[in-house]
Chain A
Amino acid sequence: MSGFFSNVDWSEILQACLDTLAMLGGSLLLTVLLGLPLGVLLFLTGKGQPWENRWGNGALALLVNLVRSMPFIILLIVMIPLTIVLVGTSLGVAGAIPPLVVGAAPFFARLVETALREVDRNTVEAVQAMGATTRDLVFRALLPEALPGILAATTVTAITLISFTAMAGAVGAGGLGDLAIRFGYQRFQTDVMLVTVVLLLALVQLLQVAGDRLVRHFTRK
């Protein structure tokens, strides 16, 4: 057994795990902070909504689609100059976070928009008919009603971010993906590959289960 895992440096694995978690935590937080308002804006400027604006909505949608249609590995490289301006480096955990956020926020925003659209049309009308401002509508009705959907969107986004962090490993971000590529792929150390894959799987599973629980907890319908 110890023979098979002879290549595995457990302290390095631990460090990689912590790096992956730091990238995930930091980028997920910023993705939600950026993507949630963007999603609300996409929804509010849509057809039949309070801030209906064809051009504004079209421009936002185009931006979102542009970023989303770019393969993440390319975005990582294209972003390098901007990343250096923003955080001073394109390497390590800090260097990975800007491209992760730029890659994930538009995706998250779309999911938020979809969740908002699923709020009962009568409920929205009822709240408008009470004399609500758009601000009331968003904070007192749309977001609370869409909370389960937004939590589900956050779970999906977190899982996408994990696969993005693995890719970011390819350009020097560190983390489990970096280990898998450097040792597992480039040096044919199958045991390292196996350990990282198992850890990534466990992380995804954990996130999914936790996300599903939260969604269930907040679903009253």
Chain B
Amino acid sequence: MIRLEGVHKAFGDTHAALAGVDLEIGRGEVFGIIGRSGAGKSTLVRLLNGLERPSSGRVLIDGTDVATLSADGLRALRSRVGMIFQNFGLLWSRTVFDNVALPLRIGGASRAEIAAKVPALLERVGLSEHGAKYPAQLSGGQKQRVGIARALATNPEILLCDEATSALDPETTRNILDLLADLNRELGLTIVLITHEMEVVRQVCDRVVVLHAGRAVETGDVADVFLHPRASETQALIAEADEHVDPIGFDGPVVRLTLHGKAVLDPVLTRIARDTGTDFIILDGRIGRLKNTSFGRLTLGLVGGDTERAIAALRLEGEVE
């Protein structure tokens, strides 16, 4: 549905925001673009609705090169591509209702259409009672819901999220991401989400690209990229999210165990401990969720018993490093 071919984007003569990116995003996918500030994420997402044009390379939406579109063609494309923003991008001088109605008015919808559609959109994002309020009277999460309702007004096929949860607290972030996941499921909406937070990618994305200095350093399924990061930039991003602390004072054998799927819910450690006589000390660990599956990642200290056999048994359950 979305394809980038050798996309370069330079601002001025010197600074290249994107230095040759190839990417393919499928219909109905939740696709994450992760990277630090300045990695080129914002530029990349703005190429997809023509807010920015590539210096070279092609951006194809359903096979159409965005750069070749006329002004009218670009406007038509933009009604198929919704966008939400970190700072919401709402009209602060207009009510919630008028904000959501704006894309419809721009598209030339009749009064009756607007009167029918806006309340339905507000209900979908849980803001039915707030239509008459001004955005400044809402909480951050509610403001982003207004942004989402507004982005959905033209029935887009693609939703671009530009750091949409970065201004929100963790709980609100989870709620907004749940809403996005629901919309993805119910409407088959393709979502392209840029963020600098691994947690966001982990919670909702199917696939992810890691962007560093304008290049895609790693692309793949979230579970693969997250559990087996190859690029050092990816490893650094994950390490930050997990806040590893190395405990001091243990000098026996140490293994890192990664489990996913059903193995997370099996009493793996206690069973192996019984079988092999080896006890486990949990030095570091995390059990969590990757969109639709569970994962566990533990750093274990091994004490006594047959440690060789214990490690071999662990290998049968998950990956051991």
Contacts and interface: CB of A to CB of B under 8 A. Distances in A.
B86 interface: yes
Determine chain B's interface SS by DSSP, over half rule: mixed
B85 A122 contact: yes
B49 interface: yes
B304 interface: no
Interface in A98-128: 120, 122-123, 125-128
Interface in A143-187: 144-145, 147-148
Given A128-B51, A144-B93, A144-B94, A122 B79 contact: no
Interface size class of A (residues with CB under 8 A): 20 to 34
A125 B106 contact: no
B205 interface: no
A47 B90 CA distance: 23
A122 B105 contact: no
Determine chain A's interface SS by DSSP, over half rule: helix
A220 B136 contact: yes
A129 B92 contact: no
Interface string B208-229: 0000000000000000000000
Contacts of A126: 83, 85, 89-90, 147, 150
B119 to A, nearest CB: 19
A131 B83 CA distance: 11
B92 A120 contact: yes
B66 interface: no
Contacts of A69: none
B81 A129 contact: yes
B78 A141 contact: no
B91 A131 contact: no
B83 A129 contact: yes
Nearest to A218: B93
Given A129-B81, A130-B79, A220-B136, A123 B92 contact: yes
B31 interface: no
Interface string B68-105: 00000011111101110111111111100000001101
Interface of B: 49, 51, 74-79, 81-83, 85-94, 102-103, 105-107, 134-136, 147, 150, 154, 160
Given A120-B89, A123-B92, 18 more contacts: A120-B92, A125-B51, A125-B89, A126-B85, A126-B89, A126-B147, A126-B150, A127-B91, A127-B106, A129-B51, A130-B103, A131-B154, A132-B75, A141-B102, A144-B94, A145-B92, A145-B93, A220-B92
18 contacts: A120-B89, A123-B90, A125-B51, A125-B85, A127-B89, A127-B91, A128-B78, A129-B49, A129-B160, A130-B106, A131-B74, A131-B77, A131-B79, A133-B106, A141-B91, A141-B102, A144-B93, A144-B94
